[in-house]
Structure 1
Amino acid sequence: MDVADLVSELKSSIHRKDEVKVRNILGPIKDLAVVRSIDEKFYNTYNNIDPVNFAIECGAEKIAIYLVEKSFPTDRLYQQELVQCDQWCYFDHGNDRCPAMYDAADNAINAYMHKLKNIIQAIREGKHKPGEGITSPYIEETVKSESEKMEPVKQEKPGMPIFTLHKETAVEEAKKVIDNYGKNYVSKDGNTLFHCYITKPKVYFYVFAAAGVPVNIQNCPECQFSHYIKETAVEEAKKVIDNWGKNYVSKDGNTLFHCYITKPKVYFYVFAAAGVPVNIQNCDGDTALHMAVRAASVDAAEALLQCCADPMIRNKMGQTPIDMSDNETITKLLNKFKPGVVSAICNDKAQTLDRVLKNTWCCTDCVVKEGKTAIELAETKVYEGKSEKCLSVLKSYRKTSQLIHAVLCHDVETTRKLLEREKLPVNIRFRDRIGKTLLSHCIEQHNTELVRLLVEHGARINQIRVRLHEDTDVTIPLFHKCLLDNDCLDIAKFLNPQMDPAEHKEKDQAGNTAVLAAIEKGLSVRYIQWLIQVTRGSALVDRNADGLTPKELATAKNNTEVVKMIDKYIIQNVVQESGIPTLLLPQFAINFCCEEDITRITDEKTKKTLIELLQDSNDKYNMKKWLNFKEVGNYAEKIMRAASGGDIFEKEIRMKSSDGGLSYIKEKYDANYRDRNGFTAMTRAIVFHKFDIIEYLCTTRPMLKTLPDNFNRYPLHYAYALPEPESERVRKLLLEKNPQDIEKRVDKDGLYPADYAAFRDSLKVQQILYDARTLNVYAQRGPPLGRWPVGALKDPPEEE
C-alpha cells in the first residue's frame, strides 16, 4: 500500500472512529520518517488538517491518543471551517497567529479531551515519551482472520453492556469494560457493573473495585441512581449513538427514538442531530410520536415534534397521534404543529411551513422521510416541479434552526461558532409570547456555559416571563427559573449584575418575589441569604398574595434556620458598627411589618434586643421615631384616607378638607407608605378618582408609580381597570413621564396593564377595585376609606 492509499484508508478509519483499523494500519510502522511523511501527505491532501486534529474534530479521543503515541505532530495549527480568518481578522493580528487557529493541545481542551491534553503536555515537558502509552492492539493481525470467523454476540436490547468474544486476558477485558461504560454505570434495572458481570472471573471484581465502582448498590427499581451517574444525559445519548449507530432497528422495527421514549428530551435532540430517522414506523405501524402520545409523555412528544415528527402518519389501526391523544396538553401541542413539516413540504404549503417552523423550534436538518432531511426533501420536490417557496422558507430559517438545536443539544462549541459568525436572534420564543426562551431553557438545564454565551450575545432577562412548565399557561419571571434548586445559585449570581434590580421584586402566580419563592421552595439558607443581600434587605418587606413577608412565611413553614438568618441579617444591618441606625429601619415600619418580629430580635453577642441596641445608639438622624410601629401605622392610615378623599381624625377632631385631602398630603406626606395589601397612597387615589392627588404624587413621588401591590399589580393596572373617561384621564397622568418604566410591567398572572381594559367589566376586575376601596391598611374588610366614586359598586361583586 503506497502512502496515498494509506492516508485515504487512515482518514476513513478515523472518521468512522474505528480504532482497531487505525491500529492495524499504523501498527507495523516503526520509522519516524514514515510517520512524518504520512502526516505531511494527510495535511496537504485534506484541507490543511493533520491526523491528530482530524481525530479530535471527529470526537475520537482514543484514536487521537494513539496517533500522539505514534509520534504524529501536535503543533500544527488548524482553523475550523466555521471560524474562517477574513480580511478584517487579518487586519487585527497581521502576521501573528490568528486567534481562531489552535494546535492539537488547544483543540483537545476545547473538545473536553483532558486525557489527550495531558499526554500532549507531558510529551512537550519531557515527562513522557511517545510510544510509552501504547498498549497491545485489541485485535492483532494474526488473530484477525480467526476472529472474523466468529459470529459476534448480538445484543438484543440497547442499554446493557455488550459481551463480546475476544482473546484478551481477564484483566484487559475488565479494564476495557471500565473504559467503555465508566465506573458509575447503572442499568435501567439498577444494576452496576458488579451485577452485570457476576459470572466473570474474580479478577473482574478486583479491577472494578480498584476503579471505584460502587460495591453496595442495590438494584431496586424504585431507587434513584442519578447520584452515582456522573454522565450527563447528553453524554449518555451520544454513547448510545456510538454503540448502536444512527440506523439501529430492533427486530420489532423500533428505532432508537422508540427504544428511549421515556428518556429526557435531550436524548431526542441528540439522536436527531446524529441523523436517526424520526418518522420510521415499527411493526405495528407506530412512529416514535405514536408511542410518546400513548405514554402521555409531554416532553417526548414536544421534542419529537421539534425534530419534525409527522403528526399525520397513521399506524396499522388507522390512527394518527392526534386520534390517540387523550392528554389535553399533548393535544394542544399536536394541533399547534399540525399538519407538520413533512406534510407542508409534500403539499407545497409554504405559509403553513413558515408558521410551523417559526413558532415551534422545528429542525430543518432532521432525517424526516426516505433518508432525507427536510431541506433535501424540499429540494427533491423542486426537481419534481413543485414550487420553490417551501425550500426558500427552509433555507431562510436554517441558521436559526441550527442555533436552536445546538442549544437544545447542549452543544456549546457549535452555539459559540454560530453566534460569533452569524447575527442570529437569541430571544425567540417557543410556541407563543409566554413560551420559554433559549435562555430560560438553558437555566432549566443548569448549563452555565450556554447561559453566559446567550447573555453575552443579547439574550434578554428584564421583563421576560415564561411558563412555569409546558403543561400550563401560568407564568413566572425568567429569573425565577434560577430558583428550581440550589444548583442554580451560580447562574443566579451571573445573571444578577446583568439585570435590572427591579426583577428581584417581580412576582410569580402566588405573589412571591424571588426571596419569597426561594423560601416557599425550601432552598438553602445560603441561597436565600444571598438573595436578601443583593436587594440590600429591601426584599424583607415584600409580601406575597397571602400578605406574608419573608420572615412570616419562613415562620409559617417552621423553617427556623431561615428565621435565624433573617434575624441575624436585621441585627447586623439595622444598626451600623458606629451605632448609627441605617435607612433599613424605617422600611419595616412604613411597610406595616409586625413590630414584635423586628424590635424583639435578640443579638447573639450582646444578648440585647434590637430596640435596646437602638436605644443605646447614636441617633443623630432621628431614626428612633420609626420604632413606634403603632404610631407609624396610625399616621400612614391618615395618609391613605386623605389620598382616598375620606375623613381624617386628628386629636379626636374630624377634619374635612375642602380640596379632598390634597392639602393634608402636601403637608404630612413624608414616606412611601405601603400597607399590608401592598397599596400605596397612589393606588388609593386612583381607585377613588382623586385626580389632583394623583397629579401631585406623580410630580413629587414618582417612585410610587413603580411600587406594586401584593399581587404585583402596579398603579397603571388599576388605571386601566377604571371605567372611561376616568381611566384615560388617570393614564395620561401616569404616563406623562418615563412611561417605559411601567407600561411593560405585568401582574402575578403575566397580564400587562393594557390587558385590564378588555375585561374591566368582569367580576374579577370589579372585585379588584372593591378590595382597593374597602380593605383597610391592615388588610381587614371595612367601610370604604373615601366616598364611593360615581357609578362604583357599593356591594361585593359576588352578591351582584
Structure 2
Amino acid sequence: MDENKIAVQSGPKVVYLLQLCDLIGKRDLTAIKGLLHSISSYSDVEAVVSAFKPKDPVVYAIEKGDESIVIYLVEKGFPTNLLYKPDPDPCDRWCKQQHGSDQCPALYDALSLSRGSQLTRASQLIMEIRDGTRNPGDGLTEKRAMKTKTTSAQLHNGDVSQDGFKTSARKAKDRIAQVGLNYIDSKEGETALHLAIRSNDLQPGLLKALQNSNARAVQRLLSMWCCTESNIKNGLPALDIATQLKDKSPEAQKCLKLIQNNRSRLQLVHAVLSEDVNTLQKLLKSDRVQQMINTRYGSQGRSGATLLSQAIEQGSLDVVKILIKTGKCNLSMRVSECMTDKNSPTVPLYFKSLSKDCPTEVWRFVSKYVDLTEDFEKDKDGNTPVLRAIKNVKSLEFMTALFRGLNFNRLLSRNEKGQTARELAAELGRTDIIELIDKKILSFCGQGMYHMFPVTFQKRRSVSTITDRAGRNLLELSCDVETGNEIDKQALKHWAAIERLGRQLFQASAEGNIGSIEQLNASDYTDRNGFTALTRAVVFNQPAVAKELLVHRPELRMIGDNLNRYPLHYAFSLSEEQSKQMVAVILSNAQQGIEHRRDKDGREPAEYMALRDTPLVLKMLHDARTLDAYGKPGEPMGPLPDGAIIPPFAE
C-alpha cells in the first residue's frame, strides 16, 4: 500500500484516502470534502483517526486555525474528546500532588483548544453536540458517519451518555405531540405524559402493582407522580380498580389508602405537567392543596423536582404565575439539575429560569420574587446566576435585562475555573457580552468601586482594555476631575503594590503573625481561588488571627471561595478540637443566617463535620494551604496544624 494513503474498510469496498495531514496543512477544504465524502460509518472514521498523525484531524485543523475545516470534520463525526498534553508538559510534582489520580487540568481536547484559539463557531458546535442538543451532521447535506451501538454524543464526550440531560419537559412534550395528552401508552395504563416524566427503571407499572397488592411499588410510583385519573383497564381508573381489589388482602387495602391519600396531590401535579390552567386554579382554591405546593418527586428524593421547578423547566409562564402568587412556593429550595438522572447534582431552583431554553418572560417574573441571597448561590461548576446565564448562551436581550441593577461585586465573582463573567464570555467568544460587561463596569465610574479590581486579584491586562467611547481607560477616567474618584485613581495607579499587600496579609495570616496583620488588614483581599485572609487563618488553625481579622472586617465571614465554601465550612472541616475553637470565633457576634450559607452542592457548614477525613475535604484544606493568590500550587504558606494530612489521600 502507498505510504501516503489510508485504507478504510467500508462494507466490502476498500477506499484509499490520501493523508489528511497535508490537505489540512494546505487548508484545502474542497479537497478534504472530496476525500471524505464517501465516509458513512464510524469504523471509517476510527480507521482515519487511528492512522492520522501526529494527533487527530480535528485538533490538527484547530492548530492550523481553519475553522471551516474544523466544523466540517466535527459534522462528519470525527471525535473531539481525545486528550493531549501540552509541550513541554507543565505537570510538575506540585501539579501531580494536586490532582493525584484525577485527570491533569493541563490536558486539552478539541473543545478547550478551539476556545483558546477563539474559534467561536466550532467551539459552540462541539458544545451543542456534547450537550445533546444536536447531532453531528445536522449541518451537512451529504452522508455522515452513523454509529449503531452508541450515540454520536458519546463519541464526542467519551463514554458519558448525554441522553439523560434532555429535559423531562422536552421529552414529555415530544411524546405528547405524537400520541396526545391522555393516550394510554402502555399495558400498565400509564399516559404518555407520565411515561415521559418518570424514570424508565420503575417496574412494575401501576396496574400490575395494584393487581399484585404491591403497596411498596404503588408508593414508589405515586412519589414519581404517576397518573391515577386515566382509565387503565376496562374503562376504570386506578382508584376504582384499587377499590375492587381492597378485600383481597391487608396490602391491597393499603394500596387503596395510598391512592386515596395522594389523589389531590396527583391531580395538582397532573394539572401542572399538562399546563391545565383552569384545573390548577380550581385545585389551589383549597388551603389543603396549597400546602402540597412544594411537594417533591422523582428518584432524587430530597433533591427531586417541585411543581414550580417543573413549570419553569416547561417554560409555562401562566402556570409559574399561578403557583408563585399563592405565596406558598419556597424559592430557596435546591432541585435536581436533571430530573431523569438519579445522580444529577442539585441547583438552586431559581437557576432553572436561567437555562438556555427558558423564556425571558419566565425568568423576569421569577426573579421578582427571589430573595437577594440567591444571588450568592452557585451551581456544581461554581457559577453564579450571571456566570450560568453566560455559560448557557443566553441572548444579549436576556443578559441586558439580567444586568439591570446588578451589583458590581457580581462582576468579580469567579467559578470553579477561576473565571469572572468577562473571562468566561471571552472563552466562549461572546464579544457582545464582553461589550455589555464593559459598559456596566464603566457605569460605576466615579463611585469608588474600581479599587476592588486589585483587591480581588483581577487580571490587570484584561481590565486595561476596558475603554469608553472616547478611548479612555479606567485609570484615565478615574484621574478626570469630573468623572474620577481619588480612591479608584490611587488603586489603579498602585495595582501591583496593593496585590503585594494582599499576598503579605495572606502569608501573615497563615503564619500567625498578628503584628503584621494589624498593619496589612486594609481591605477584603480575595485571591483568584476565592480565599481571604480569614480562609488562610482557619485552615492553618490560627484562631487568634481569625479573631483579629474579624474585629476590623466582620464581613470576611460572608465571603465564600470559588465553590461557595465559606470560612465556616472550612472551620467545621478541621479536627474536632480545632473545629470547636474556630467555629466559636467565627460565630461570635456573627449576623443571623451565616450558619445556613450553602456551598455549590447545597451543603451547609455543619454538614462538613461528617466529611472530615474524606478525600474531598482533605483536598479542599490542602488547596487552601498550598495554592498561592493566583492559583498556582506550592509549599504550604505556613506551619501545618497538628494532624494535617498531605496527599495522596486514601479513598
Which bin holds the TM-score, normalised by the shorter protein? 0.5 to 0.7
Q: 1:620 to 1:561 in 2, by over 3 A?
A: closer
Paired AA for residue 619 in structure 2: Q
The 2-side partners of 1:380 and 1:416 are apart by: 32
Paired AA for residue 641 in structure 1: Q
Paired AA for residue 498 in structure 2: V
Q: 2:415 aligns with which of 544, 552, 558?
A: 544
Match of 1:229 in 2: none
The 2-side partners of 1:567 and 1:266 are apart by: 40
**2:566 is aligned with 1:714:** yes
Q: Note if contact 2:169-2:310 (Cα within 8 Å) is conserved in structure 1.
A: no
Match of 1:526 in 2: 397
**2:581 is aligned with 1:724:** no
Equivalent positions of 1:449-464 (< 5 A) are: 449-457=318-326, 458-464=328-334
Q: 1:378 to 1:267 in 2, by over 3 A?
A: farther
Match of 1:505 in 2: 376
The 1-side partners of 2:170 and 2:552 are apart by: 58
**2:389 is aligned with 1:482:** no
**2:442 is aligned with 1:442:** no
Match of 2:40 in 1: none
**2:207 is aligned with 1:342:** yes
- CA drift of 1:784 comes to 1.8
Unmatched runs of 5 consecutive residues or more in structure 1:
1-221, 225-260, 282-286, 293-298, 306-329, 576-580, 647-659
- Aligned to 2:487, the other structure's residue is in SS state coil
Equivalent positions of 1:269-668 (< 5 A) are: 276-280=183-187, 301-303=195-197, 305=198, 333-334=200-201, 337-350=202-215, 353-357=218-222, 359-382=223-246, 388-424=253-289, 425-431=292-298, 432-457=301-326, 458-471=328-341, 472-485=343-356, 488-573=359-444, 575=445, 581-604=446-469, 606-617=470-481, 622-627=487-492, 628-644=494-510, 646=511, 660-668=512-520
Deviations 1:56-110 (A, max 9, x none): xxxxxxxxxxxxxxxxxxxxxxxxxxxxxxxxxxxxxxxxxxxxxxxxxxxxxxx
- Aligned to 1:704, the other structure's residue is in SS state helix
Deviations 1:319-343 (A, max 9, x none): xxxxxxxxxxx5xx52xx4444334
Deviations 1:293-320 (A, max 9, x none): xxxxxx97453x5xxxxxxxxxxxxxxx
**2:648 is aligned with 1:797:** yes
Paired AA for residue 257 in structure 2: S
Q: 1:631 to 1:682 in 2, by over 3 A?
A: same
Aligned residues: 478
The 2-side partners of 1:442 and 1:613 are apart by: 46
Paired AA for residue 587 in structure 1: M
The 1-side partners of 2:411 and 2:463 are apart by: 11
Match of 1:765 in 2: 617
- CA drift of 1:543 comes to 0.8
- CA drift of 1:531 comes to 2.5
Paired AA for residue 236 in structure 2: K
Match of 1:695 in 2: 547
Q: Note if contact 2:309-2:349 (Cα within 8 Å) is conserved in structure 1.
A: yes
- Aligned to 2:529, the other structure's residue is in SS state coil
Deviations 1:619-669 (A, max 9, x none): 67634222122111111112222222x2xxxxxxxxxxxxx3334434542
The 1-side partners of 2:331 and 2:633 are apart by: 38
Unmatched runs of 5 consecutive residues or more in structure 2:
1-136, 140-167
- Aligned to 1:414, the other structure's residue is in SS state helix
Q: 1:727 to 1:603 in 2, by over 3 A?
A: same
- Aligned to 1:509, the other structure's residue is in SS state coil
- Aligned to 2:624, the other structure's residue is in SS state helix
- Aligned to 1:368, the other structure's residue is in SS state strand
- Aligned to 1:491, the other structure's residue is in SS state helix
Paired AA for residue 397 in structure 2: R
Q: Note if contact 2:448-2:487 (Cα within 8 Å) is conserved in structure 1.
A: no
- CA drift of 1:594 comes to 1.5
The structure showing larger relative contact order (alpha-carbon pairs under 8 Å, at least 6 residues apart) is: 2
The 2-side partners of 1:544 and 1:262 are apart by: 28
The 1-side partners of 2:559 and 2:169 are apart by: 45
- CA drift of 1:739 comes to 7.7
- Aligned to 2:564, the other structure's residue is in SS state coil
Equivalent positions of 1:233-244 (< 5 A) are: none
Q: Note if contact 2:537-2:545 (Cα within 8 Å) is conserved in structure 1.
A: yes
Q: Note if contact 2:169-2:313 (Cα within 8 Å) is conserved in structure 1.
A: no
- CA drift of 1:602 comes to 1.6
The 2-side partners of 1:790 and 1:278 are apart by: 63
Q: 1:351 to 1:280 in 2, by over 3 A?
A: closer
Q: Alignment RMSD, CA only?
A: 3.3
Comparing 632-641 with 262-271, greater Cα deviation is found at: 262-271
- CA drift of 1:443 comes to 1.0
- CA drift of 1:288 comes to 7.7
- Aligned to 1:584, the other structure's residue is in SS state coil
Q: 1:593 to 1:385 in 2, by over 3 A?
A: closer
Q: 1:262 to 1:639 in 2, by over 3 A?
A: closer
The 2-side partners of 1:640 and 1:757 are apart by: 25
The 2-side partners of 1:528 and 1:262 are apart by: 24
Paired AA for residue 553 in structure 2: R
- Aligned to 2:284, the other structure's residue is in SS state helix
**Which structure has the bigger radius of gyration?**
1
Match of 1:652 in 2: none
- CA drift of 1:771 comes to 0.6
Paired AA for residue 629 in structure 1: W
Q: Note if contact 2:451-2:487 (Cα within 8 Å) is conserved in structure 1.
A: no
Q: 1:636 to 1:403 in 2, by over 3 A?
A: same
Paired AA for residue 231 in structure 2: V
Paired AA for residue 429 in structure 2: N
Q: Note if contact 2:456-2:528 (Cα within 8 Å) is conserved in structure 1.
A: yes
The 1-side partners of 2:576 and 2:179 are apart by: 55
- Aligned to 2:466, the other structure's residue is in SS state coil
Q: 1:538 to 1:265 in 2, by over 3 A?
A: same
The 1-side partners of 2:377 and 2:261 are apart by: 37
Q: 1:486 to 1:566 in 2, by over 3 A?
A: farther
The 2-side partners of 1:463 and 1:534 are apart by: 24
The 2-side partners of 1:350 and 1:487 are apart by: 38
The 1-side partners of 2:336 and 2:309 are apart by: 8
The 1-side partners of 2:283 and 2:194 are apart by: 27
Paired AA for residue 438 in structure 1: L
Q: Note if contact 1:264-1:300 (Cα within 8 Å) is conserved in structure 2.
A: no
Paired AA for residue 334 in structure 2: I
The 2-side partners of 1:278 and 1:686 are apart by: 58
The 2-side partners of 1:428 and 1:740 are apart by: 28
Q: 1:595 to 1:488 in 2, by over 3 A?
A: same
- CA drift of 1:264 comes to 3.9
- Aligned to 1:725, the other structure's residue is in SS state helix
Match of 1:117 in 2: none
The 2-side partners of 1:698 and 1:339 are apart by: 58
**2:593 is aligned with 1:741:** yes
Q: Note if contact 2:573-2:608 (Cα within 8 Å) is conserved in structure 1.
A: yes
Paired AA for residue 373 in structure 1: P
Q: 1:288 to 1:397 in 2, by over 3 A?
A: closer
The 1-side partners of 2:224 and 2:643 are apart by: 46
- Aligned to 2:526, the other structure's residue is in SS state coil
Per the normalisation by structure 1, the TM-score is 0.55
